[in-house]
Chain A
């Protein structure tokens, strides 16, 4: 069994944005259930001992935790490279300086579209100006800065302007992540689903940009349209783990809704959770697979696709991901994809302290 390389630390589910594509579960962890600072410090020490070298400090909006600098310091102390994954809302010069002093290494900033009006409409509140300021602050401090943009029906046509925005803001990388349909995002599938033509055009534009910019462009494929499933987390319990705000540990950030008992750092050592817990062993390797995966030459490449998607669409997390053209359930995906998108956004309610 491999040691995990990376940990996604979801520090809080609180978030000032209301994005319709949000992949966090429909039922969020309330603030009163969040891990305390001492618990995060212990998690960082246990993660480092297990082999974790990257931590993505995420949420929700991690800046909503006032003790974020202490969490950053705990990671740095344990030799874990800490990256802040933020909406940019609340990232003032003072807060950023505290985080840099604590050992923050890099920042990934979300943006919803290339203009203030379009971005704010998707985010469900005014936030673009704060993002622009945050980007400038990060560049001033010479921290590596990446942009992430979730792509869907309402912003795929802006791809050129999104790349131009990244260049103007001085980012080193743009993650262009075609939306996936989990958690809250599943409620908005119809409103978010792009057309095949939109995707093809956007993919061509990204390819063209690659030949004329040194910017790293990461294109996360839209699995509803390709007939090829995405390699679930690089293998279940193979590369990374997610710690939820309340200490539950998941093999994948979308796994909240799987019928698995998620082990909790409040009850168990992280080493036991990674190596021995039933949840992390449920779909590890290839022995759990049924046909057509079990004898498929691609089983070690895509691991049967996404367990969460198999569960959401077929009711059985152990089946082949319906995104795979070889899946007996593939029509579930093709019907959805060809039905096309439409309709209004259902925004997340703003999360307040509970």
Chain B
């Protein structure tokens, strides 16, 4: 089955107006995302495949995006 990344039940993506930052919030932990990371996580809607997410970024970024998605999946924040 093709992986269509989506935020896990544990995780919430929030923009914080006070800190002007995108945050990934999980139990007992808050991860401050940089702009690229936030852009990737926002595309994890359970509909797009990894290939489709990668296609949203400039050529050559594919490997970084894929690696990032796998790392965040290992943390349990996306599934």
Cβ-neighbour of B76 out of A3, A51, A79, A172 (below 8 A): A172
B10 touches A51 (CB 8 A): no
Cα A108 to Cα B26 with chains together (Å)? 13
Cα A106 to Cα B77 with chains together (Å)? 13
Q: Given A143-B9, A144-B10 in contact, is the A53-B16 Cβ separation under 8 Å? A: yes
Cβ-neighbour of A51 out of B9, B12, B16, B28 (below 8 A): B16
The size class of the interface chain A forms with chain B is: 10 to 19
Contact residues of B between 1 and 48, Cβ < 8 Å to A: 9-10, 12, 14, 16, 18-19, 23, 25-28, 30
A81 touches B12 (CB 8 A): yes
Contact residues of A between 32 and 56, Cβ < 8 Å to B: 49-51, 53-54
Contact residues of A between 89 and 113, Cβ < 8 Å to B: 105-106, 108
Cα A143 to Cα B25 with chains together (Å)? 14
CB-CB < 8 A to B27: which residues of A?
83, 105-106, 108, 144, 146, 172-173
Q: Given A5-B30, A54-B30 in contact, is the A106-B23 Cβ separation under 8 Å? A: no
CB-CB < 8 A to A173: which residues of B?
27-28
Cβ-neighbour of A3 out of B10, B18, B25 (below 8 A): B18
CB distance from B27 to the nearest CB of A (A): 4
Interface string of A167-195 (1 = CB under 8 A from B): 00000110000000000000000000000
CB-CB < 8 A to A142: which residues of B?
9
The chain A residue with its CB closest to the CB of B23 is A53
Cα A276 to Cα B46 with chains together (Å)? 45
Cα A83 to Cα B26 with chains together (Å)? 10
Contact residues of A between 126 and 170, Cβ < 8 Å to B: 142-144, 146
Cα A51 to Cα B16 with chains together (Å)? 7
Task: Give me the interface of A with B, judged by CB distance under 8 Å.
Answer: 3, 5, 49-51, 53-54, 79, 81, 83, 105-106, 108, 142-144, 146, 172-173
